[in-house]
Amino acid sequence: MLEKVDLTKKLSKEEYKEKMPQLEAKLGRLQRECKSLGIPIMIVFEGFGASGKGIQIGRLIQSMDPRGFEVHPIKNETEEERMHPFMWRFWTKTPSKGRIAIFDGSWYRRVLIDRFEKRTKNKELADAFHSINSFEEQLAEDGTLIIKLLLDIDKKEQKKRFEKLEKNKETAWRVTQGDKERNVHYDEYAAMIEDMLFKTDTDYAPWTIIESMDKRFATLKIYTTVIKAMADQIEKVQKEKTEGTAGKTEGEMAEIAREADEEMKELQVSILSKADLSLHYTKEEYKEKLDKLQKKMEKLHGELYRRRIPVVLGFEGWDAGGKGGAIKRLTERMDARGYVVNPTASPNDIEKAHHYLWRFWRAMPKDGHVAIFDRTWYGRVMVERIEGFCTTEEWKRAYKEINDMEKDLSDAGAIVIKFWMHIDKDEQERRFKERQENPEKQWKITDEDWRNREKWDQYEDAVNEMLMRTSTDYAPWVVVEGNDKYYARIKVLRTVAEAIEARLKEE
Amino acid sequence: MLEKVDLTKKLSKEEYKEKMPQLEAKLGRLQRECKSLGIPIMIVFEGFGASGKGIQIGRLIQSMDPRGFEVHPIKNETEEERMHPFMWRFWTKTPSKGRIAIFDGSWYRRVLIDRFEKRTKNKELADAFHSINSFEEQLAEDGTLIIKLLLDIDKKEQKKRFEKLEKNKETAWRVTQGDKERNVHYDEYAAMIEDMLFKTDTDYAPWTIIESMDKRFATLKIYTTVIKAMADQIEKVQKEKTEGTAGKTEGEMAEIAREADEEMKELQVSILSKADLSLHYTKEEYKEKLDKLQKKMEKLHGELYRRRIPVVLGFEGWDAGGKGGAIKRLTERMDARGYVVNPTASPNDIEKAHHYLWRFWRAMPKDGHVAIFDRTWYGRVMVERIEGFCTTEEWKRAYKEINDMEKDLSDAGAIVIKFWMHIDKDEQERRFKERQENPEKQWKITDEDWRNREKWDQYEDAVNEMLMRTSTDYAPWVVVEGNDKYYARIKVLRTVAEAIEARLKEE
């Protein structure tokens, strides 16, 4: 998840000044409503050192009635706390009905700082995650709203902030030896955060990543996240209360939630928009690279077979994005007995009578074999989501289900890579028209393609969310800049070859 | 959970013959209904070797239409299976809508046999449990009914059955070296089953323990369990389908479920009924033992403090069961600075504004201290359940919540023991009357006590279920035979002293 975060997000002073007053008023309004409905709220601030947790908490509480919240700074345990079970100090700090508890650091230190500093032993980790999930699930089921924010900055920015703090006598004490260690071993710490996100990003207590390089942007996203979560919860509680009785006007909260949704979309990381679609190769460059890479793949494929390493490659992308061409070039010189290309069409009757992942599980490769999927299980969170072929709950929980499946594959030793073949709207139109005009390619273009094209923006939102939520260290997404077919094909080949080489080196 | 299973349960031939035909007819009826509603069903048979999985599966399918089910014997992986991720062979065997898949052995071998034989490494265990729960949750959310049966026999019976199989040439091959190993290390294997129950007994796929010493009893309980689960699922699906439309007659399934419920209650392990309430001490015996044990406790208490071991003791029991007297004798010579007795009354307003476990978490002892609870968090699954102070979903999930809390305490080094002070109904009446007649004890008896007494049977069912579901190796329940107060007090003292001594020895 972290790898796909766009840390270049910024907000201008003007926009900030224009947007904040409204949000601040809303937050105050929502706090009063939560109080009157008796909804307890926990807001967790976690993230990298110097990512601005303290400052952001300060900004958040400015709009709150101070009689209604408490801030709990979670540092090293006191002696009293150390003499109790780890979760004790958090259980005792859970808010009562209608109150807000804000945690500056939290129970997650057990699987972050404490893990990094080896106070949490490896064999204790599974139990720690079990305790954390159980704690949050129990409270959520009891009606507590849990909002978890992960403040994200990059290694360089963190170092810069530490240095700035250290230069000033009054703030130098705030940078600990541990902070600096975690900066030096930034990647190792980030991997622990990634593991935490995998294990604790639940439907009852989801994480939101806050891009925190720019403080204004972070503030806006935090406000929006909190407002959205509170409005949703209020609506839910109101609905439960009025269930069965005549239609009460609950419009206000739904309206606030909708507005926050809109705002969130704007704040959302657009991974696709960052792709540089001007990347290209000349025909000569292409031919030379293609030849070299295909020869390499031929060798690597044999090596995979010899070492019994399975490979799973998923291809998704815009219609006419170049999936077919890339798969063709990838497999051209591979031994046909060692790979299978699975084209994914609409599910047939037997497939429909099973869980949507069943047909993909069946097609997973055995050790030493390569399975290539032309369209994949990600249909669940794209076409099925957008066309309403599954319910909102179904596609929302699919992210976790898919991550779990890919984790099972990876745990069994598989190399798993997913490609998004990316082109822009103009390029798609050009290709569509070309297909229509070329009798040999006409079969490739249908009315449905044109209809899907009309939903470009909806798909773009869905794809961005998908890339964000399902790009993991064990099964990464690779966005392939595809306006130039030569470039795209080479990138796919190179990515696969490099992943295999890296694995072979490990062994 | 296993420790409290009553393996003496038997069923006479007559009763078996009387009851089975009806159940068989029902099962056939339910299978047709599930088929027409498109409900997929998975039935898992796990348990000790020679517990009769094969025979019981044979008996179960006798009542089923053979076109509607498949039996999957799960042995060592084939070469093909070994070359895929572990869950692959189970994913590919998930039943389609309306069909039944019966597993003789299952994905649980990963955390049982494979764990025992060290094919599953310790560091892989957490991932294995994650995969298993994810698999079951995904299928359950997709509409699959998952019924998990654990067939339980004791070590001696297992050995006897193995010997019988080995004597006969035609069956000798069925007893493997691994089977015999697991018999020799029966307790170690049982601990793995216990761990599995803790981690995978979920609301979406709960376990049912089948006492399998007597085959007729096991068959009856399996039929009843399967019938109940199917009827419940059918009712649920019918409800969803008719939601909003006018009240269709769904009476039949509710009726079958209710009957199965009644039958289950009869089959249920009655832990309380096994207590021998004739146990007693003479006054002389009592005095001598009391003196010795109290002196020992005094010493052990000091040792606990020195070694910083926390102790949590919960007391529950019938009204007038002797909780107060036992606590008094237990603490009489302990240093008052080292223990606290927490009386648990109805929650006050502040407590009501929190999660029900909050007030107990607050009272948990720090290292080296003893916390004694006179009535406990188990109120949730007794008085709150019976008086309707919480919803059915709430008390049902409380078993897991409570087990999780006690696990957190135990993981932090605490000794956790729960006592059920048990007397029979006559003895209670005698004590109630004595209290009423004795002016100094009158304060101890209220109208509520008499009202609770009228619900004796309801409480007994609730207590039996509670003892079953929350007696764990890290926090066992001890039933104290309490008709004789002397005996009861000594048993409590002795149990606590022995638990402390055992811990001190470990360290």
What is the DSSP code string of A176-232?
-HHHHHHHHTHHHHHHHHHHHHHHH--SSS-EEEEE-SSHHHHHHHHHHHHHHHHHH
Nearest beta carbon to residue A412 from set B38, B86, B361:
B86
**33-72 in chain A: CB under 8 A from chain B:** 38, 40
Segment B436-443 shows an average pLDDT of 88
Q: Which two tokens stand for residue B18?
A: 């009387």
pTM of the model: 0.86
Q: Please give, rounded to a whole number of angstroms, the shortest distance from the CA of A355 to a CA of chain B.
A: 7
Cross-chain residue pair A134–B83, CB shorter than 8 Å: no
Proportion of chain A above pLDDT 90, given as a percent:
84
Q: Please give, rounded to a whole number of angstroms, the shortest distance from the CA of A79 to a CA of chain B.
A: 10
- The residue of chain A with its CA nearest to that of B199 is A130
Angle between helices A425-437 and A447-454 (to 10 degrees): 170
- Provide the pLDDT for residue A404: 94
- Provide the pLDDT for residue B29: 94
- Provide the pLDDT for residue B262: 87
- Provide the pLDDT for residue A210: 96
Q: How confident is the model at residue A239 (pLDDT cuts 50, 70, 90)?
A: confident
Closest CA to B483 of B419, B418, B420, B421: B421
Q: Which two tokens stand for residue A302?
A: 């044999």
Segment A336-342 shows an average pLDDT of 95
The residue behind tokens 């002293």 is: B497
Q: How confident is the model at residue B2 (pLDDT cuts 50, 70, 90)?
A: confident
Query: CA-CA distances (angstroms) from residue A385 to A399, A451, A466?
Result: 12, 16, 11
Dump pLDDT digits (tens) for B305-358. Answer: 999 999 999 999 999 999 999 999 999 999 999 999 999 999 999 999 999 999
Report which DSSP code applies to A273.
G
Cross-chain residue pair A408–B80, CB shorter than 8 Å: no
Strands in B370-374's sheet, in edge-to-edge order, are B339-343, B370-374, B311-317, B415-422, B477-481
| CB contact B140 to A (< 8 Å) | no
Query: CA-CA distances (angstroms) from residue A207 to A109, A265, A401, B180?
Result: 15, 16, 16, 49
Instruction: Kindly give, in sequence order, each residue whose CB lies less than 8 Å from that of residue A448, ignoring residues fewer than 6 positions away.
Output: none
Asked if the model's pLDDT at residue A245 lies above 70, the reply is no
Kindly calculate the radius of gyration of chain A based on its CA atoms and give it in whole angstroms: 25
Residues of A with CB below 8 A from B362's CB?
91-92
- Provide the pLDDT for residue A249: 52
| CB contact A240 to B (< 8 Å) | no
Is-contact A101 A69, C-beta < 8 A? yes
Q: Please give, rounded to a whole number of angstroms, the shortest distance from the CA of B361 to a CA of chain A.
A: 6
Q: The complex's ipTM?
A: 0.83
Count Cβ–Cβ pairs < 8 Å, chain A vs chain B: 133
Q: Please give, rounded to a whole number of angstroms, the shortest distance from the CA of A413 to a CA of chain B.
A: 8
Proportion of chain B above pLDDT 90, given as a percent:
84
- Provide the pLDDT for residue A240: 85
- Provide the pLDDT for residue A5: 87
Dump pLDDT digits (tens) for A69-112. Answer: 999 999 889 999 999 999 999 999 999 999 999 999 999 999 99
Residues of B with CB below 8 A from A90's CB?
none
Q: Bridge partners of B101?
A: B42, B70
Segment B242-260 shows an average pLDDT of 73
Nearest beta carbon to residue B364 from set A88, A142, A358:
A88
- Provide the pLDDT for residue B273: 86
Dump pLDDT digits (tens) for B95-115. Answer: 999 999 999 999 999 999 999
- Provide the pLDDT for residue B239: 86
| CB contact A258 to B (< 8 Å) | no
Of A486-495, B69-78, B461-470, highest mean pLDDT: A486-495
Cross-chain residue pair A141–B397, CB shorter than 8 Å: yes
Signed CA dihedral, B55, B56, B60, B61: sign only: negative
Instruction: Kindly give, in sequence order, each residue whose CB lies less than 8 Å from that of residue A153, ignoring residues fewer than 6 positions away.
Output: A7, A47, A48, A50, A51, A52, A161, A212, A213
As a whole number of Å, the end-to-end CA separation of chain A is: 26
| CB contact A142 to B (< 8 Å) | yes
The H or E element that residue B332 is part of is none
Higher pLDDT, B21 or A254: B21
State which amino acid sits at residue A119: R
